[in-house]
Structure 1
Amino acid sequence: MKIEWLGHSSFKLTESTGISLITDPFDAVKVGVPYPEVSADIVTVSHDHFDHNCVKAVKEYKLLINTPGEHSVDGVDIYGFRSYHDEKKGALRGKNIVFRFRMDGVEICHLGDIGEELSPLLAELIGSINILLIPVGGVYTINAAQAKEYVDLLMPDVVIPMHYMCEGYVTEFDELDEFLDLFPRRDIEYADTTELEFDRADFDGEKTRVIVPKKVN
């Protein structure tokens, strides 16, 4: 299966069958950077903010999932878990959906704009995962140190950071290096492309790798 970073918290996940899914498409004008021309079968939205809910940017989608629950679409299993955008049970910024996907036997978790510490219940719901897509830029989400705690508790095989400061952004976020500095350099990989390819056999469960896709813009 393939994971392509589209910028901010948006990724395109594609199964070997060709079924595709896009997470959290954003409003390019309000975010400050272009959003690529993309199409997909499924769109997931973690919460209703402009930098995560611009569904009209995705062409030809057949299904929008923006509520918690369990879905199975053409062999792709999708689970949505209720969480919060802040540390006050949503009182400041509302609710958030953590999504877990199973594609080609690979377990992927997209945390959306999670803003709270990882609770035992949410950790149990997420379960054992291969790939964690996690916000690290603070301000409106968990920060680098909190994100590292998520990684330490969930123990994914691969971590792909998202929602951090990039050139052109209207909103200021923390820099990616604040998160990367918390890991040994030997465990960090910088990809030369925005698209990453994974196979179930790639994961041995022995250590966590941080993979940074090439910047979109």
Structure 2
Amino acid sequence: MAVEIVWHLHSCIELIAGGKSLLIDPHDGGSLGVGFTPPTAKPDYILVTHEHYDHNAVNLFSAKGGRGPLIIREREGSFELPPFRVKGVKLPHDEFEGRLRGFVVAYKITVEGLSLAHLSDLGRPLRDQEAREFGSVDIVFAPVGGVYTLPPSKVIDVVDMLDAKIIIPIHYWLPGVQLPLEPLDVFINHARNFKVLQLEDNRVVIDKHDLPGERTILVLQPPGRRRS
């Protein structure tokens, strides 16, 4: 029993388990820069953390079998999308308690014995009460590009609060991305106590028994680009 994790660039993550696909924060490709394409997923469910243009391209997913995916937008509290159990936690998109960019709803997802947290565009370190809302998690999808999110130097503080074993970086600059984000290396330089594993492509399958003994950053490759 395992979960397949697919990175579709930027903040778009797909989780596949129990024959179902859950897609988080789809973009339309063009909102990132010239030459990027939308996610290739065929989701059963879509979670939107907030309504910014590079996170909410749900209109791209046509109905399959007469029925499109179930779309959940910024939903707080606990709910189920079988086999996924989800908890939405409202967080500020900036360091000014939402006064600059508003709020996001980050999601904790539990499936196949694993707990995973997608932190959306978290704008500042977590407060103690917010961390308690999540509890301990195994895998964190963390925005590490700064500028619109918390600084790369503060991401590790959040990971420590959640006691996560694995970080999968999202929302950072890549060649061709027109958003003024920091590249991944800036974050890596602040994570010297973490093991860094560069994976071969944009997907990985993780079983709860595969969780590493030491804290690890898993770097997924952009879709269509295999690591040489």
How high is the TM-score relative to the length of structure 2? 0.89
Whether contact under 8 Å (1:25, 1:58) holds in the other structure is no
- Structure 1 position 208 matched with structure 2 position 203: no
> 1:149 Cα shift?
1.2
> Partner of 1:84 in structure 2?
92
Q: Distance in 1 between matches of 2:22 and 2:117?
A: 13
Q: Distance in 1 between matches of 2:165 and 2:61?
A: 29
1:30-79 Cα offsets, whole Å, 9 max, x none, are 22122233210110111000000111223444311112121112231011
> Partner of 2:186 in structure 1?
178
Alignment map for 1:94-113 (pairs within 5 Å): 94-113=102-121
> Partner of 2:153 in structure 1?
145
Q: Secondary structure at the match of 1:31?
A: coil
Alignment map for 1:108-119 (pairs within 5 Å): 108-119=116-127
> 1:182 Cα shift?
2.0
Letter in 2 for 1:187: K
> 1:111 Cα shift?
0.2
Whether contact under 8 Å (2:194, 2:217) holds in the other structure is no
> Partner of 1:165 in structure 2?
173
> RMSD of the TM alignment (CA)?
1.5
Q: Secondary structure at the match of 1:28?
A: coil
Q: Distance in 1 between matches of 2:190 and 2:76?
A: 32
Whether contact under 8 Å (1:159, 1:209) holds in the other structure is yes
Alignment map for 1:20-59 (pairs within 5 Å): 20-32=21-33, 33-59=36-62
> 1:166 Cα shift?
0.8
> 1:185 Cα shift?
7.8
Determine which of 93, 100, 107 is the counterpart of 2:101. Answer: 93
1:98-118 Cα offsets, whole Å, 9 max, x none, are 101011111000000110221
> 1:6 Cα shift?
0.2
Letter in 2 for 1:64: I
Identity score, percent: 29
Whether contact under 8 Å (1:113, 1:140) holds in the other structure is yes
Against the structure 1 CA distance between its residues 91 and 168, is the aligned structure 2 distance closer, same or farther, given a 3 Å change threshold? same
Letter in 2 for 1:210: I
Q: Distance in 2 between matches of 1:85 and 1:70?
A: 21
Q: Distance in 1 between matches of 2:151 and 2:24?
A: 20
Q: Distance in 1 between matches of 2:81 and 2:27?
A: 23
Q: Secondary structure at the match of 1:152?
A: helix
Against the structure 1 CA distance between its residues 154 and 27, is the aligned structure 2 distance closer, same or farther, given a 3 Å change threshold? same
Against the structure 1 CA distance between its residues 74 and 92, is the aligned structure 2 distance closer, same or farther, given a 3 Å change threshold? same
How high is the TM-score relative to the length of structure 1? 0.94
The runs of 5 or more residues in structure 2 that have no matched partner are none
